[in-house]
Amino acid sequence: MLLSGRTALVTGSSRNLGAVIAERLAAHGATVAVTYRQSEEAARELVAGLAGSGHVAVGGDLADPAPLVAAAQEALGHVDVLVHNAGPFSMTPFAQMDEAEWDVVWDVNVKAAYVAARALAPAMRAAGWGRIVLLSAGSAYLRNHSIYGLAKQALAFLAEELALELGPEVTVNAIAPGQIAESADDIAGFDPSFVARAIAHTPAGRLVTRAEVAELVAALCAPSFDMVTGATLPVDGGWRLQRF
């Protein structure tokens, strides 16, 4: 119960990876704010099934994150752990992309992380303890995943700078999962051969799971990670390593 007595806000957590992260943080003792944009029913079902009590579902659009963050903060009383998981995907080439698509992907992936951290960090620092975990992605290492790859690489930079600004009370790290096994069908809609190629290129011989990523998020809040800040941890079985 390494998070007993702590509270956590997990963005984009009504389903998929975010939901598993919420489950793991709750299992470790945290009281969790689950956020949703459209899936209110799914969010409330998730909250009802989380270990422990006091969990809440908070709705809002992370394109304008301040109201959602404020609502979560009010519902929980305070926020000790921020996990920014929300992040829409795009592979539209830059030369063909309109500004509206750029804005959605960039704002939810990157700007929302900055706005949430800015809002929550003062109370974390005043309390003497806080953890911020940003979900980057293996796409940060590629140069053909367009605005999504750029946004996910920006989160690594943001984690480094926030670590400098918010220490020593708050640690800030990013996690960069490779292709997640349970989301294989999603990427296949963009690139049908991606999953097979990813597995063939990965020294571990398989894809990472949502549970593995979620457990690392929780671990970054543990005392054993107190001296880890400003890091981006790739969780991809070695997929990112180039070979010639």
Give the span between the Cα atoms of 58 and 14, in whole angstroms: 10
Known active-site residue 148: yes
The contacts of residue 168 (CB under 8 Å, 6+ apart) are none
- The answer to whether the CB of 136 falls within 8 A of the CB of 174 is yes
E strand or H helix at 188: helix 184-188
Taking CA 168 as the corner, what is the angle to CA 87 and CA 120, rounded to the nearest 5 degrees?
40
Active-site hit among 36, 114, 141, 148: 148
**Helix (H, G, I), strand (E, B), or coil: what is residue 4?**
coil
Give the span between the Cα atoms of 34 and 16, in whole angstroms: 12
DSSP string, 113-182: HHHHHHHHHHHHHHHT-EEEEEE--GGGG-SSSHHHHHHHHHHHHHHHHHHHHHTTTEEEEEEEE-SBGG
Beta bridge partners of 10: 34, 83
The contacts of residue 206 (CB under 8 Å, 6+ apart) are 181, 199, 237
47, burial (CB in 10 Å: exposed 0-12, middle 13-18, buried 19+): buried
Q: Which residues are catalytic?
A: 148
